[in-house]
Amino acid sequence: MSLVIYNTLTRQKEVFKPLEEGKVKMYVCGPTVYNYIHIGNARPAIVFDTVRRYLAYRGYDVNFISNFTDVDDKLIKAAKELGTDVPTVAERFIHSYHEDVCALGVQKADHHPRVTETMPEIIDFIGRLIEKGYAYEAQGDVYFKTRAFEGYGKLSHQSIDDLRSGARIEVGEIKKDPLDFALWKAAKEGEIYWESPWGNGRPGWHIECSAMAKKYLGDSIDIHGGGQDLTFPHHENEIAQSEALNEAPMARYWMHNGYININNEKMSKSLGNFVLVHDMIKEYDPQVIRFFMMAVHYRNPINFSDELLQSAQASLNRIRTAYDNLKHRQGISADLAEDAEIWEAKVNQFKQSFTSEMDDDFNTANAIAVLFDAARDANVYLQSENTSKSVLTAFITLFEELTGVLGLTLTAEKELLDEEIEALIEERNQARKERNFARADEIRDQLKDMNIILEDTPQGVRWKRQ
pLDDT per position as a tens digit, 26-39: 999 999 999 999 99
Average pLDDT over residues 426-443: 86
Instruction: Report the range out of 207-221, 278-292, 372-386 with the highest average pLDDT.
Output: 207-221
Closest Cα partner for 279 from 47, 439, 42?
42
The whole-angstrom separation of Cα 196 and Cα 325 is 64
> pLDDT digit string (tens) for 57-87?
999 999 999 999 999 999 999 999 999 999 9
Closest Cα partner for 109 from 168, 64, 142?
64
Percent over 90 (pLDDT), the chain = 74
Average pLDDT over residues 163-179: 73
Strand 265-266 vs strand 452-457: parallel, antiparallel, or unpaired?
Answer: unpaired
Summarize the annotated binding site for Zn(2+) as residue ranges. 29, 209, 234, 238
CB neighbours of residue 236 within 10 Å: 21
Instruction: Find the DSSP H helices in 106-248.
Output: 119-131, 160-166, 205-217, 236-246
If pLDDT is split at 50, 70 and 90, which confidence band does 93 have?
A: very high
DSSP for 99-113, written as a single string = HHHHHTTPPPPSB--
Backbone angles phi, psi at 155, to 5 degrees: -75, -45
Q: What angle separates helix 39-57 from helix 389-405, to the nearest 10 degrees?
A: 130
pLDDT of residue 333: 65
Summarize the annotated binding site for ATP as residue ranges. 269
- DSSP lists the bridge partners of residue 28 as 66, 225
Summarize the annotated binding site as residue ranges. 29, 209, 234, 238, 269
Average pLDDT, the chain: 92
**57 vs 161, residue with greater confidence:** 57
